[in-house]
Amino acid sequence: MKQFEIPTFYKSEFIGPIKNYRKALDPRKRDFTPTIVDFGSLKITLARHFGFCYGVENAIEIAYKAIEENQCKNIYMLSQMIHNPVVNQDLQDRGLSFILDTEGNQLTPWEKVTSKDIVIIPAFGTTLEIEKHLKSKGIETHQYNTTCPFVEKVWKMANKLGTDDYSIIIHGKFKHEETQATFSHSSAESKSVVIKDIDEARVIGDMILGQRSKDEFYSRFEGRYSKGFNIESDLLKVGVINQTTMLASETHEISEYFKSVMIEKYGEPSLKDHFADTRDTLCYATNDNQQSTYELLNEKADIAIVVGGYNSSNTSHLADLCATKFKTYFVNGPNELLDNKTIRHFDYASKSHQTTKDYLPLKDKINVVVTSGASCPDSVIESVIDKLLSFYPSDLDKSTALKNAGVTG
């Protein structure tokens, strides 16, 4: 796999050796068991896979290259390049500005952006409408387009489905930049609708089976279906794609559900005429991180700390998985661990910050599960571990603890 040039301050002298060691032992990534580093009074159970993925490293390399190569120009990012506050803040500190926020609200008026400026397409991609608008302003975006290749893979699947005359059901969070981009590209290929979960899938399934009225579709999914969508003619053939950071198990459940609906309505011999087997369109990193988190659930631990941007979809799913077994705290960095008594964290379901007292158990030895999303720098993970270590003095330094864990090189 290609090696990217990313700033050294995103790397970690503690995390790097662990990843390199595990990769050397398991190059085909068949072992998802965690790495356990024991400091004595504190044991860290670290997920097998976490942190920057291919798409994120590609985006970071391109963005910093754009800044280096265009120091006398205005440089804009359409929206946050990735959902991580550390990375986005550093880019802003270097002079880069955002045109839109994550909700699509205007931060920089389009009138200020000219053909002399540099505009970077974020890793999530962008809509065809924005691409057209940039082109109309004479802005070239190909050189600094950081769209993740795995997002583009989903768009190619949408193209194939449209070519084969299937309507497209997108499993995703409609306001997320990636889903907005995918919906735009998908709608250009075929009739499309975005659903957020299995419950909404069942609503559409009932409509396919004639058990709900079409009026409910247009009210329930208002703003989330493509222009001219007709449920009587556009749900005869369907295929499922997704936002690449959704839970794989949920996308699989939705896909299997629509498969069963088409079998019920048309019979299994006619299934291929009504349901497209798209397989899973999640990216490899999302799959690896989720599988690694499932392995964490086999461990015994006192708490779990999940690190990443609070608007990071893939990180929120890791937090949800961890919470099925452990008391879990979703933080964006070490500053959220206020001290050994108090932690500030984020509840993704309610989109609210919370403060919890006595989050660390009163024990002589505790075990903390640690993982992060695909947009979190390794240096931030290490700084969170350092903060925990400051609460539990140990005779072991990090180098010795790594050697005791079998990490060499």
* Domains delineated in the chain: 8-53+284-404 (3.40.1010.20), 54-136 (3.40.50.11270), 149-276 (3.40.1010.20)
pLDDT at 185 over 90: yes
pLDDT averaged over every residue in the chain: 94
Q: What is the spatial distance between Cα 298 and Cα 153, in angstroms, rounded to a whole number?
A: 33
Per-residue pLDDT band at 2 (split at 50, 70, 90):
confident
Q: According to the model, what pLDDT value does residue 351 have?
A: 87
> Residues 248, 287: contact at Cβ < 8 Å?
yes
Mean pLDDT of 55-66: 95
Pick left, alpha or beta for residue 125 (phi over 0 → left; psi -120 to 50 → alpha; otherwise beta): left
pLDDT, greater one: 293 or 279: 293
pLDDT at 408 over 90: no
> Residues 310, 286: contact at Cβ < 8 Å?
no
pLDDT, greater one: 18 or 281: 18
Residues 91-97: contacts with CB within 8 Å, 24+ apart? 91/63, 91/67, 94/67, 95/67, 96/63, 96/67, 96/120
Q: What is the spatial distance between Cα 63 and Cα 39, in angstroms, rounded to a whole number?
A: 38
What pTM was computed for the model?
0.92
Q: According to the model, what pLDDT value does residue 143 have?
A: 92
> Residues 301, 360: contact at Cβ < 8 Å?
no
Percent of the chain with pLDDT over 90: 90
Please write the tens of the pLDDT for every residue from 29-50.
999 999 999 999 999 999 999 9
Nearest 5°: phi and psi at 86? -65, -50
Q: According to the model, what pLDDT value does residue 409 have?
A: 63
Q: According to the model, what pLDDT value does residue 1 have?
A: 66
Q: According to the model, what pLDDT value does residue 279 have?
A: 75
> Residues 293, 284: contact at Cβ < 8 Å?
no
pLDDT at 344 over 90: yes
Residue 288: which residues within 8 A CB-CB, separation 6 or more? 29, 32, 48, 49
Positions marked active-site: 178
Q: According to the model, what pLDDT value does residue 61 have?
A: 96
Q: With the C-alpha atoms ordered 254, 256, 257, 263, is the resulting torsion angle positive or negative?
A: positive
Per-residue pLDDT band at 393 (split at 50, 70, 90):
confident
pLDDT, greater one: 339 or 286: 339
Mean pLDDT of 368-375: 96
